[in-house]
Amino acid sequence: MAFKACSLNDLTPGEGLRIDSVSPPIAVFLTDEGTVHAIDDTCTHQDASLAAGWVEDCRVECPLHESTFSLISGEVDQPPAKRGVRVHEVELDGDDVLVELSEKAPQLPPGVTLS
pLDDT tens by residue, the chain, 115 residues: 899 999 999 999 999 999 999 999 999 999 999 999 999 999 999 999 999 999 999 999 999 999 999 999 999 998 999 999 999 999 999 999 999 999 999 998 988 888 7
Could you tell me if residue 105 is inside a domain?
no
User: Cis bond leading into 25, ω under 30°?
Assistant: no
Any idea what the Cα angle at residue 85 is, between residues 76 and 62, rounded to 5°? 60
CA pair distance 49, 42, nearest whole angstrom = 5
The Cα–Cα gap between 4 and 115 comes to 21
Residue 22, domain CATH:
2.102.10.10
User: Does residue 113 fall inside a structural domain?
Assistant: no
Q: Are 90 and 98 in contact (CB under 8 A)?
A: yes
Q: How far apart are CA 23 and CA 43, in angstroms?
A: 14
Structural domain for 10, as ranges:
3-100
Q: Domain count of the chain? A: 1
